[in-house]
Amino acid sequence: MLEKVRVNNLRGWRKLVLYPLVVALKLFVSTLKFKPTKHMERFLETHNHPAIIVFWHQNLFLTWKLHSLLKSKLPTYGLISPSSDGAWLSAFFSMVGIGSIRGSSGRRGSLALSELQEKLKDGANVAITPDGPRGPAKKFKNGVAILALRSKVDVFLLAIRYKNFWTLNTWDKFRIPKPFSKIFIDCKRVPHAAIENLSPDEASLLLESKLR
């Protein structure tokens, strides 16, 4: 039976509101000083194959910058909740060149996984926050592992640390770096061979341990 879940999209004046916000965000992010580790530099220099890129939900603020740092010819698609909150994020992604697949662990999950698998098969990157959209924080749901096992692609785990930041009172302790702050980014590659013989639960625990 097909999942019948309403996917909320941004329309009308709400979408127009995003344009000045995107400009302001780009100006703000331009003040930040990014300090990739050697592993991250290598990833940025050599990445040319479809992959699953993973980072915690609290670091969603930097999604656009991470996408621009890749300087990749590969398109990127993010997994976004079908909720009204997700509609804002999906519209923002569209404005900065990132595609959207709408779904979550609780709503439209199986369809979203199939669509993400097709994007990887077609040669695109997929970006996922494994603890989104509602937590628990820094706990892997099985979606990433299932997608990696089905697609047989590598998973790249991005560990992000801000030197100076604000923390919001949200379930994920959402972080916003302060202007001119240094941003340290590390990258760990988990090849498909490392998880191909594991169950989704086992693979999720392995990936979670490497992103902590």
Q: What is the pLDDT of residue 1?
A: 41
Say if residue 119's pLDDT is above 80: yes
Q: What is the pLDDT of residue 70?
A: 81
Q: What is the pLDDT of residue 71?
A: 72
For all residues of the chain together, what is the average pLDDT?
A: 90
Terminal Cα-to-Cα distance of the chain (whole angstroms):
38
Question: Tens digits of per-residue pLDDT, 154-168?
Answer: 999 999 999 999 999
Residue 23, judged by CB atoms within 10 A of its CB (0-12, 13-18, 19+), counts as: exposed
Question: Tens digits of per-residue pLDDT, 65-87?
Answer: 888 888 777 899 999 988 878 88
* pTM for this prediction: 0.90
| pLDDT band with cut points at 50, 70 and 90 for residue 38 | very high
Residue 56, judged by CB atoms within 10 A of its CB (0-12, 13-18, 19+), counts as: buried
172-206 burial, b if ≥16 CB within 10 A, otherwise e? bebbebeeeeebebbbbebeeebbeebebeebbeb
Q: What is the mean pLDDT of residues 112-117?
A: 95
Query: Helix, strand, or coil here: 148?
Result: helix
Q: What is the pLDDT of residue 181?
A: 97
Q: What is the mean pLDDT of residues 44-60?
A: 93
Q: What is the pLDDT of residue 166?
A: 98
